[in-house]
Amino acid sequence: MAPVKALTLVVAFCLAAGAFAEPAGARDDLADLLEPLREAQGLPALAAAVSREGEVVAAGAVGTRVLGMDLPVTLEDRFHIGSDTKAMTATLLGSLVEKGVLSWDSQVGEVLGERIDGMNPALAEVTLSQLLSHSSGLPSDTQEYMEIYFSSEAAQQNPDAARLWAIEQVKEEAPVVPDGPSPFQYSNFGYMIAGAMAEAAAGRPWEALIHEVIFDPLGLESAGIGPQARRGRYDAAVGHLAEENGDLTPMLWGPAADVPALLGPAGAAHMSVLDFLRWGSWNAAPDEPDPPIVSAETLAELHRPHVRTPVLENPPPGTPQQGEYAMGWSVITPPWAEEPMLMHNGSNGMNLAKILVDRERKLSIVVVTNAPGQPAETAAEQVMEQLFARYAQ
Give the span between the Cα atoms of 270 and 254, in whole angstroms: 14
Pairing relationship of beta strands 28-29 and 224-225 according to DSSP bridges: unpaired
The b/e string for 164-200 (b: 16+ C-beta within 10 A; e otherwise) is bbbbbebbeeebeeeeeebbbbbbbbbbbbbbbbbbb
CB 268 within 8 A of CB 210: no
Q: Identify the helix (H) or strand (E) that includes residue 213.
A: none
CB 83 within 8 A of CB 192: no
Q: Give the pLDDT score at 212.
A: 98
Q: Give the pLDDT score at 23.
A: 53
Q: Give the pLDDT score at 51.
A: 98
Q: Give the pLDDT score at 334.
A: 94
Q: Give the pLDDT score at 185.
A: 94
Q: Give the pLDDT score at 176.
A: 96
Phi and psi (nearest 5°) for 127?
A: -100, 165
Q: Give the pLDDT score at 174.
A: 97
Q: Give the pLDDT score at 25.
A: 57
Q: Give the pLDDT score at 136.
A: 97
Comparing CA positions, the residue from 53, 4, 60 lying closest to residue 366 is 60
Q: Give the pLDDT score at 286.
A: 76
The range of the structural domain enclosing residue 15 comes to 3-391
Q: How many domains does the chain have?
A: 1
Phi and psi (nearest 5°) for 99?
A: -75, -10
CB 303 within 8 A of CB 314: no
CATH number of the domain enclosing 114: 3.40.710.10
Q: pTM for this one?
A: 0.93
Helix axes 31-41, 373-391, angle to 10 degrees: 160
Give the span between the Cα atoms of 27 and 43, in whole angstroms: 25
CB 119 within 8 A of CB 175: no
Mean pLDDT by 10 residues, the chain (393 residues): 39 44 75 98 98 97 98 98 98 98 98 97 98 96 97 97 98 93 94 98 98 98 98 98 95 96 98 98 91 97 94 60 91 95 97 98 98 97 98 93
